Structure 1
Amino acid sequence: MTKTTFENWTENRALINWIRKCRDLCKPDNVWFCDGSKEEAQELVSKMLKSGTLTKLNETARPKSYLARSTPEDVARVEERTFICSEKKEDAGPTNHWADPAEMKTKLDSLFQGCMEGRTMYVIPFSMGPLGSPLSQIGVQITDSPYVVASMRIMTRMGKKIIQLLGPNGSFVPCLHSVGMPLKKGMKDVPWPCNTNERYICHFPKTKEIASFGSGYGGNALLGKKCFALRIASVMAKEEGWLAEHMLILGITNPEGKKKYMAAAFPSACGKTNLAMMTPTLPGWKVETVGDDIAWMRFGKDGRLYAINPEAGFFGVAPGTSEKSNPNAMKTIAKNTIFTNVALTDKGDVWWEGMTEKPPSHLIDWEGRDWTPKSEGPAAHPNSRFTTSASECPVIDPNWESPQGVPISAIIFGGRRSSTIPLVMKALSWEHGVFFGASLSSEMTAAQEGTIGKLRHDPFAMLPFTGYNMGDYFQHWLDIGNKHDKDKLPQIFLVNWFRKGKEGSLLWPGYGENSRVLKWIFECCDGAPITAKTAAGYLPKKRTLDTSGLNLKKEADELFKINKADWLEEVEELKQYFTLFDPRFPESLNQELLKLEKRLKTSSSQKAKTNANEDIF
């Protein structure tokens, strides 16, 4: 524990005053100024092992790794308790929960009053993005959870080096968090303290502040993640002319050694990490990881869009991750990892559904109960996670911490769609690409609250993460295209790995075979004449998508079928959906929808279901 005083720790008067205010409000037993050292990390781990928050895994099987189990009521984002506290309700928009900022601050003050009694208040200075990068931002999180401190140490660059960077006058985003469970004298603590009766995750766009109360899990508690990196950063990005996006970033190199970078947006648990760490099946092609979840993008002096990964680690969904689906992720989490809500094997290792074809005969499930293949319910929670440093990734890109970022050639949108959307499609223009993003929808997964499998709209995969009115967000994307050289803008694509045939089975093998789609996108960005114009967008010309070695003769037509009836139904549904954003829905996107409808109605059914080498308008 760092023995220091406020003034010895920092000369930043604004920071000192804020920490003192939080201390006086929350009334902790003591204050811990985090320095980010290995010694500090080990002290925190020892503390959590003693309290039962962590269980040490088998050192031989999983070196320096630990298992945490949350309470069953604290396992995912709580979107219905997440608020945008803008001055005007209409500035939060129809997709956010709004609260009056003055009223919410009064409410939060009452909740935080004495909330850290009997606990330690940890002060975590952190950088979102490489230290000193013009694309990076600094935050300071206060929390009473050592699990949060240990996780933030992995997910961000944190410690005294950030205080040095901040200096006496630097600005920061204040992030206040508490599990909301004060320990009165004589009370016994629990391994996973939280307050399920009072949960608030609040964002104040005007003052760039974050406050979270009651939850100790994931993005509810690691405030650098969705709260800062997306909800608050998206407001900053709109004000300053850049983009803060729910996107992976990857570098892909062809056999000749030419490299391009791509950013891709998918709703949570739809394969972002798998794509970011892909092992290509195509000989000579290589994929390297810059980030698996969030991209901050600004334009460089050369007019191109550059991206950084503001995070320093991966907070990945465990179920479905395997040697088949993501061998590089399995290597990444081989050591130095915190697992949360996965199952524990009899040998002291971890397991989750999809990790192996056959489950072990006995496990301790995510709730600490005996489990066998005959037990009801999964062994690991569907939203169980691994938290590990990006530096552990065997395919981390050599430029992943480049201060200037990496140049983006392509932006890809995608979701889980059983029908309608083809395997890959290129936008007709930047505006049409923004329409791709605005119209994105996906079948729900365990990472969101709701009915699994139900289709929900998730524009730009940012539905729960935009810190202001989504209609204004669409316009911001359009403005980006209008303000910059269109010849230097990234090309925009739509993909769908999850299209199914009539029998209900997936038509595309996915995983490493997705490199074939990335190859086609790579070649499109190189200007290759490999696209065929259809009513919905550009599809691959015949034989331009490399399917060598795959037996897809029967599936090929269905993968690229543009069914007129399905698409016209999609158009009608989107007309209704887009009214949600009135009066702030951009007229140019309305025009994109009407143009799509016109193209569909004037195309012949026969041509509309082929990917032949011809224009089907």
Structure 2
Amino acid sequence: MPKLINEDSYSCKLLNKCKLSVGNIRSYLNLADTQTKNVNISQGNLNLLPPKLKEFLEEKINLCQPQSVHLCDGSEKEAIQLSKLLQNQKTLTPLPKYQNCWLARTNPADVARVESKTFLCSADKKQSIPQPKENVVGKLGNWISPDDMDEAIQQRFPGSMKGRTMYVIPFSMGPVGSPLAKIGIQLTDSPYVVLSMRIMTRMGDTVLQKLLDDSSVEFVRALHSVGTPTNGQHEYQHWPCDPERTIILHRLETHEIVSYGSGYGGNSLLGKKCLALRIGSYIAKTEGWLAEHIKRIDDADLFSQILGITNPEGKKRYIAAAFPSACGKTNLAMMTPTLPGYKVHCVGDDIAWMKFNEKGELRAINPENGFFGVAPGTSNSTNPIAMKTIFKNTIFTNVAMTNDGGVFWEGLEDEISPEIKITDWLQHEWKKGSKTPAAHPNSRFCSPANQCPILDPNWEDPEGVPIDAILFGGRRPIGVPLVYESLSWKHGVYIGASMRSETTAAAEYKGKFLWPGFGENSRVLDWIFQRLDNKENTAEKTAIGYIPTKETFKTDGLTENVDFEMLFAINKEFWKQEVDDITKYLDEQVGSDLPQDIIEEAEALRKRLNE
């Protein structure tokens, strides 16, 4: 069983008025009959599609009333056509400095995920979110009743696609055909979403063929519309949205996703957070596996990356690591090790789907097909691998633009010529030293994973890669060791459930971090290797878990002086307060839903601290 280690650092007829445009999917559809009630498919017609898919399409076409329907094939030709369409609509601006890269600027009111407008729907509220104690405001998710969800849909979606094209996106989260993968069908009126889904998922012909070959294959139903404000006017014509009425809904039992009003990726790319994490977590619970993405004790999210590590002797291990945003998750997944002889390969930087196979091995896949990363802070000094990945076939959103046809964001100040002129994400002239940022703090790059120079050769293994250790991490104050190992599997689950991260100067010591991070984290991975190989005298048992011995944790060659004693100091008074805070939080927020094992682990930790 993998060790658990803590590191700090998504009727059978089309309407007559609905014209079907299908791109290059001619192997499935005969376009000669597009104006008739029956649209041919191969040797038949649209009625030969799986009945569930036909029913889904007809229902949503009736609801949204699009002008046309486009069944996406995922081809290069289709992508070129949609890119030109979006350029003509001024949604995308070409970036001639790079190969097939584009810049999108959103409505300033549509720049991030809207967790406050995101709801889970189930007949039983307990199936969706934990039940907090009476008079306590719950922070671990929002629930909506089935009737209220239906009402919310009826208030927004009737006629929402009038005058627009409905794009039908067949997509797979995970390698097509993998026993760990899940298929979805997303309907959207945003060609920006189509292009982004082509990057972030396996999308198009191969997925549709899977459904055509076997009508019993289930799929997640996903509906998205950018919407139209109640006054009928879009403030920014190039970026239609309805931010005042934005809502993201998930009907758990029937595996349905409904998103309205936002074009931003986190709210509109419904294979990502919506399927891979929210619906995925429910499916995983019912099927007996893990959709790894955790709500931390401080109400933020932990994102899971998978990386392969090879030591100087040529032995390879795979590790899943759950880190909060801004705590180095992508940097870890794309690490350039400073410790000689070590190599890191990236399987994924955001989400992990994990399942024990028949042999008892924990296997994991990255359900995504691309990187949807935060741009600010990414540079050649912090993440050179990411910089080698993102300047080809990429959609940048809300970053600044340079007059030579490139992009800019905070963190690239030392990598750009002083002569270069910069236009910020709001299309205003920007100069270094300005009080406002050039790029939106949540600006993004959306890049294909196969462009990563250290992409693991087994990243698309349908069986997944074998996980040897699971890391939980974040920025923590003095008193929390750089790395420590759980005492047992249950203790490791407690560590994951109680993880939190500091975002203030409390994470610093005398004006700087205790640990340099980035490539130096290879030293942490080296110690993990030693523990996995059961090397003797590599760890000291403490009340909170196993910490490295000074003799086995490699600090030679560090570019910065590190206080080893301070790095692994354990302040029992700090930890007693930590247990009290965690226990109080879980009692208030999870209440009667809290597993007894977690309660017992907290008590056991308190007892060890008092010994």
Is TM (by shorter chain) over 0.5?
yes
Answering whether residue 507 of structure 2 is matched by residue 434 of structure 1, we say no
Note the C-alpha offset of 1:504: 2.6
The gaps in structure 1 that reach 5 residues or longer are 445-452, 455-497, 603-617
Residues 1:402 and 2:461 aligned together: yes
Counterpart in the other structure of 1:38: 76
Q: 2:154 maps to which residue?
A: 109
Q: Deviations over 1:3-26 (max 9, x none)?
A: 645552662111011111111110
Q: CA deviation at 1:357?
A: 3.2
Structure-1 separation of matches of 2:498 and 2:596: 14
2:274 — aligned with what? 227
CA, structure 1 residues 443+215, in 2 after alignment: closer, same or farther (shift >3 Å)?
A: farther
CA contact (8 A) 1:86 1:99 kept: yes
C-alpha separation in 2, matches of 1:365 and 1:170: 46
Q: What is the alpha-carbon root mean square deviation over aligned residues?
A: 2.0
Q: Which residue of 2 aligns with 1:21?
A: 59
CA deviation map 1:82-107 (0-9, x unaligned):
00111122332241111101221122
Q: How has the CA–CA distance of structure 1 residues 183 and 46 changed in structure 2, closer, same or farther, with 3 Å as cutoff?
A: farther
Equivalent residue, structure 1, for 2:18 = none
1:193 positional shift:
1.0
1:255 lines up with 2:312 in the alignment: yes
In 2, the alpha carbon distance for the partners of 1:420 and 1:320 equals 27
Please list the CA deviations of residues 140-194 of structure 1 after superposition, one character each: whole Å capped at 9, or x if unmatched.
0000111100000000000021111112332100000001128999999711111
TM-score calculated relative to the size of structure 1: 0.86
Q: What are the residue-to-residue correspondences of 1:234-253 with 2, within 5 Å?
A: 234-246=281-293, 247-253=304-310
Q: For residue 100 of structure 1, what is the aligned residue in structure 2?
A: 145
Cα distance in 1 for residues equivalent to 2:229 and 2:507: 49
Partner of 1:463: none
What is the CA deviation profile of residues 391-441 of structure 1, one whole-angstrom value per residue up to 9, with x for unaligned ones?
100000000000111000000001122333211010000011001101011
1:583 aligns with 2:592: yes
Given residue 513 of structure 2, which amino acid in structure 1 is its aligned partner?
A: L
Partners of 1:326 and 1:585 lie apart in 2 by: 39
Q: Secondary structure at 2:85's aligned position in 1? A: helix
1:540 corresponds to 2:548: yes
Q: Does 1:316 align with 2:373?
A: yes
Equivalence for 1:211: 258
Match of 2:176 in 1: 131
Q: Tell me how far apart the structure 2 counterparts of residues 376 and 360 of structure 1 sit (CA, whole Å).
A: 20
Deviation at residue 222 of structure 1 after TM alignment: 0.3
CA contact (8 A) 1:531 1:539 kept: yes
Q: Does the 8 Å CA contact 1:359/1:373 hold for their aligned counterparts?
A: no
Describe the shift of the 1:30–1:63 C-alpha distance in structure 2 as closer, same or farther (beyond 3 A): same
1:167-316 superposed matches below 5 A:
167=212, 168-181=215-228, 190-246=237-293, 247-316=304-373
Structure 2: give runs of 5+ residues left out of the alignment. Answer: 1-20, 24-30, 131-137, 294-303
- Number of residues paired by the alignment? 548
1:565-605 CA deviation, whole Å, 9 max, x = no partner? 21111111112101121101111111111111121122xxx
| 1:421–1:499 Cα contact (<8 Å) kept | no
User: 1:519 deviation in Å?
Assistant: 1.2
Aligned with 2:515 (options 499, 508, 520): 508
Please identify, of 509-518 and 358-367, the stretch whose mean Cα deviation from structure 2 is larger: 358-367
Point out which structure has higher relative CO (alpha carbons under 8 A, 6+ apart).
2
1:348 shift after superposition? 1.2
Q: Distance in 2 between matches of 1:263 and 1:303?
A: 17
CA contact (8 A) 1:261 1:407 kept: yes
Q: 2:98 aligns with which of 41, 59, 62?
A: 62
CA contact (8 A) 1:353 1:359 kept: no
**Match of residue 11, structure 1, among 46, 49, 57:** 49
Identify if the C-alpha distance between structure 1 residues 349 and 398 changes in structure 2 by more than 3 Å, giving closer, same or farther: same
User: In structure 2, how many angstroms separate the alpha carbons of the residues matched to 1:232 and 1:155?
Assistant: 17
SS of the aligned residue for 2:305 comes to strand
Contact map agreement 2:234 2:241 (CA 8 A) in 1 = no
Give the distance between the partners of 1:419 and 1:78, measured in 2 at CA.
33
2:383 paired with 1:330: no
Letter of the 2:89 counterpart? S
* Aligned residue among 448, 452, 455 for 1:389: 448
Q: Aligned to 1:2, which of 22, 25, 32?
A: 22
Q: Distance in 2 between matches of 1:102 and 1:183?
A: 22
| Residue 99 (structure 2) pairs with residue 90 (structure 1) | no
Aligned partners of 1:127 and 1:162 also within 8 Å? yes
Q: Tell me the distance in 1 between the aligned counterparts of 2:567 and 2:179.
A: 42
* Aligned partners of 1:342 and 1:385 also within 8 Å: yes
Q: What's the offset of the Cα at 1:272?
A: 1.4
SS at match of 2:445: strand
Identity %: 53
